[in-house]
Structure 1
C-alpha cells in the first residue's frame, strides 16, 4: 500500500470541516417555540379543566334560576315591621315564606305610608283587631259563632294569638290588617297569615280592651300612626 506523504496529510487536514456552530438567533428562536408550546398546552389544560363547571352553570334549568331569584328576593325582604299606635309600638316578624304576593304588597304599602293614620275599625275581644277598609260588619258575627262552635278543631302555629294577617281575597286598592288575640282555627279560611307579633303583645291587649259599640267599632278612635320596616332590631 502506498504511503501518504506528509504534505498530502497536511492538505487533507486543512480540507476537513470543523464542527458546525449554532447561532444565537437559532437558540432564541427554538426557546421561543418551546415557551409557546408550553403556554399552549397550559391554556388547553385550563380550558378543559374549567369547562365542566362552566357548562353546568350554563345548562341550569330555568326553574333553578327562578328559585335563585326567589331566594335573593327573600334575603332582601325586611324581616320586621314596627307598628306605632296610640297605645305604643308593636313589633311584627314578617314571614318570608308566606304568600309572596301578600308580603310584597304589605311592604310596598309600608314604603308608601299607606298605613299612616289607618284606624282600627273593629275590635273584638278574644278574637281579632282589624284595621283597614274591609267591611267587617257582616262577617264578624259569623266568624265569632264559628270560632265558638269549632273549639275542638286542631290548631297550628298560624292559628295562635298575636298573628298578623290580611284579607284572603283583597281588592287591588287597599290592604287590611288583622291581629288575632286568641287562637282562631276558622280564621284560616278568611285571612292570609304573613307575620306575628314578637314584641308589644301587651299593647295589643290594651287595644283589645277599649270600649266598642254593638258593631265592634271603637267608641274612641284609635289606629295606626305608621308602620316602619326594619332588617334588624
Structure 2
C-alpha cells in the first residue's frame, strides 16, 4: 500500500511539473533573411499580451519591414504594408487603438531589443501594432553625455547601461520615450542583414522584406527558458 501511495505521489508531482506554465513567452519572426526568436518581457504585460494576441490572429503575416535604417533599427507591423505598391510610403497604418506606455528603468534600447513605435502623442502611448528591433551602434561616454542634456532632457544613463551601449551598442536616445518590451535571444544576424539592404528615400527597402510571426508553444517556451537558464 505504501508503495502504491508513493507511486501516486510521484505521478502527481511529475504531472504538476508538466502543467506549470513557462516563465516567459517567446515569438519567432521569420523573413527571407532568416529568423529571430524574441523573449517578451513580463515587466511590460500590456505590450506582451497585445503582441501575442495579434500574432495568434496572424495579423503580422505578410506585413513588411517597411522602415530600415542601418545602425539604428528595422521597423514593421504596419497593416497597410500588406501587398503595398512598390515605392509607396508606409508607416501610418494602425489597429484603431494605442497601448499605454510601460517605461521601466531596467529596460533600455540595447542592441536587439523589441520596442513599440508611436506617433507624437503627449502620453507617449504606443502604436497598437507597429514595432521595431534595434540594430544600434556603439556610443562613447562623450556622446552619451551629450544625449543626456539634449534628447534625454536631463535623464541620466546608469553606469551599467552605459557599459552596454559602449560595448554592445544600441540607441540610447530612445530611452524613456518608446516602450521596450522584448529582446532577441536567437538570430540577431537577421536584423543586421535586413538593416543592410538597399532602401529608397523613405527608408523603405527597395525589395520588400515580408514577415511571418509565430507564437512558440508552451513546450518550446519551456525549452527556451531552460536554454537561457531563466
TM-score by length of 1: 0.54
2:116 aligned with 1:166, yes or no? Answer: yes
Partner of 2:46, secondary structure, is: helix
Q: Secondary structure at the match of 1:215?
A: coil
Partners of 1:79 and 1:223 in 2: CA distance: 23
The CA distance in 2 between the partners of 1:204 and 1:87, in whole Å, is 8
Shift of 1:83: 1.1
Matched residues, number:
140
Whole-Å separation in 2 of the counterparts to 1:215 and 1:133: 15
Instruction: Find out whether 1:93 has 2:80 as its counterpart.
Output: no
> Structure 1: 5+ residue runs without aligned partners?
1-74, 138-154
Tell me if the contact between 2:64 and 2:78 (Cα under 8 Å) persists in the aligned partners. no
What is the match of residue 200 of structure 1? 187
Distance 1:121 1:189 in 2: 24
SS at the partner of 1:202? helix
Q: Which has the larger radius of gyration?
A: 1
Deviation at residue 79 of structure 1 after TM alignment: 2.1
Write the distance in 2 (CA, Å) between the matches of 1:181 and 1:170. 20
User: How is 1:151-190 mapped onto 2 (pairs within 5 angstroms)?
Assistant: 158-167=108-117, 168-171=124-127, 174-182=128-136, 183-190=170-177
Cα distance change, pair 103–156 in 1 and its aligned pair in 2 (3 A):
closer
Structure 2, gaps ≥5 residues long = 1-20, 80-89, 93-104, 118-123, 137-169, 225-230
Is contact 1:110-1:229 (8 Å) kept? no
TM-score by length of 2: 0.54
1:132 is matched with: 77
